[in-house]
Amino acid sequence: MSLKKIAEQAGTSIATVSRVLNHPEHKCNDPELQKRIWQLADELHYTPNTTARDLRNGGRKQETPFTIDVFLTRFHSIENDAFFTELFQIVKEEILANGCIFGQLLTHIDIPDLGKTDPETKHIPYKTTSKIKEESAKVSPAWITPKKHTGLVILGKCQENLIPLLKKRYPCMVGIDRNPTDYLYDEIFCNGTSATEQAMEYLISLHHKKIAYIGDCNYESRYIGYYQTMLNHKFPIGYDQIYPTDQTKEQGYQAMLQILNKPDRPTAIFCANDTTALGVLEALKKKRHKDYAPSVISIDDIEAAKHSSPMLTTISIPKQEMGHLALTTLLDRLSGHHRENIRIELPCHLVVRESCEYHY
Instruction: Tally the domains of the chain.
Output: 2
Q: Are 57 and 182 contained in the same domain? A: yes
Q: Are 97 and 151 contained in the same domain? A: yes
Q: Are 339 and 261 contained in the same domain? A: no
The per-residue pLDDT for 113 is: 43
Q: Does residue 338 lie within any of the structural domains?
A: yes
Task: With a cut of 90, say whether residue 273 has pLDDT above it.
Answer: yes
The per-residue pLDDT for 306 is: 93
The per-residue pLDDT for 244 is: 96
**Most confident range, picked from 26-30, 103-107, 309-313:** 309-313
Q: How far apart are CA 286 and CA 281, in angstroms?
A: 9
- What CATH number should be reported for the domain holding residue 125? 3.40.50.2300
Task: With a cut of 90, say whether residue 245 has pLDDT above it.
Answer: yes
Task: With a cut of 50, say whether residue 125 has pLDDT above it.
Answer: no
Q: Which residues contact 64 (CB under 8 A, 6 or more apart)?
A: 149
Q: Which residue has the higher pLDDT, 49 or 171?
A: 171
Q: Are 58 and 173 contained in the same domain? A: yes
Contact present, 120 and 35 (Cβ < 8 Å) = no
Q: Which residues contact 152 (CB under 8 A, 6 or more apart)?
A: 68, 69, 70, 71, 166, 169, 170, 172, 173, 174
Please report, for residues 10, 37, 77, 360, the alpha-carbon distance to residue 43 in angstroms, rounded to integers and kept in the order given: 12, 10, 17, 50
Q: Which residue has the higher pLDDT, 237 or 28?
A: 237
| Least confident among 32-46, 53-67, 84-98 | 53-67
Q: How far apart are CA 162 and CA 170, in angstroms?
A: 12
Q: Does residue 164 lie within any of the structural domains?
A: yes
Torsion of CA 83, 84, 85, 89, to 10 degrees: 110
Q: Are 310 and 323 contained in the same domain? A: no
Task: With a cut of 90, say whether residue 275 has pLDDT above it.
Answer: yes
Task: With a cut of 60, say whether residue 114 has pLDDT above it.
Answer: no
Q: Helix count (H) and strand count (E) of the chain?
A: 13, 12
The per-residue pLDDT for 311 is: 95
Which residues of the chain form beta strands (DSSP E)?
67-72, 101-107, 150-155, 172-177, 186-189, 211-215, 242-244, 268-271, 295-300, 313-316, 343-345, 349-351
Interaxial angle between packed helices 14-22 and 82-97, expressed in degrees from 0 to 180 and rounded to the nearest 10: 100
Contact present, 353 and 310 (Cβ < 8 Å) = yes
Contact present, 188 and 329 (Cβ < 8 Å) = yes
Residue range 131-183, pLDDT digits in tens: 545 555 444 433 567 788 899 999 998 888 888 888 888 989 999 998 888 89
Q: Which residues contact 144 (CB under 8 A, 6 or more apart)?
A: 122, 123, 124, 125, 126, 127, 132, 165, 168, 169
Q: Does residue 360 lie within any of the structural domains?
A: no
Q: Are 169 and 221 contained in the same domain? A: no
Q: What angle (nearest 5°) sits at the alpha carbon of residue 332, between those of residues 326 and 335? A: 140
Q: Are 196 and 308 contained in the same domain? A: yes
**What is the mean predicted confidence (pLDDT) over 28-46?**
77
pTM score of the predicted model: 0.76
Written as one string, the DSSP assignment of 73-130 is -S-SSGGG-HHHHHHHHHHHHHHHHTT-EEEEEEEGGGS--TT---TT--SSS-S-HH
Q: Are 103 and 197 contained in the same domain? A: no
CA atoms within 13 A on the CB side of 223: 15
Q: Are 58 and 181 contained in the same domain? A: yes
Please report, for residues 7, 14, 71, the alpha-carbon distance to residue 176 in angstroms, rounded to integers and kept in the order given: 32, 33, 10
Task: With a cut of 50, say whether residue 6 has pLDDT above it.
Answer: yes
Q: Are 331 and 281 contained in the same domain? A: no
Task: With a cut of 70, say whether residue 235 has pLDDT above it.
Answer: yes
The per-residue pLDDT for 78 is: 82
Q: Does residue 104 lie within any of the structural domains?
A: yes
Buried/exposed 114-144: b ≥16 CB within 10 Å, e otherwise: beeeeeeeeebbbbbbeebeebeeeeeeebb
Percentages of the chain per state (helix, strand, coil), in multiples of 5: 40, 15, 40
The per-residue pLDDT for 25 is: 57
Q: Does residue 306 lie within any of the structural domains?
A: yes
Task: With a cut of 90, say whether residue 266 has pLDDT above it.
Answer: yes
**What is the mean predicted confidence (pLDDT) over 313-319?**
97
Q: Are 143 and 168 contained in the same domain? A: yes
Q: Whole domain around residue 156: which residue ranges?
A: 3-190+319-345
Q: Does residue 266 lie within any of the structural domains?
A: yes
| Least confident among 39-43, 108-112, 323-327, 347-351 | 108-112
Q: Are 197 and 71 contained in the same domain? A: no
Q: How far apart are CA 331 and CA 326, in angstroms?
A: 9
The per-residue pLDDT for 54 is: 52
Q: Does residue 85 lie within any of the structural domains?
A: yes
Q: Does residue 90 lie within any of the structural domains?
A: yes
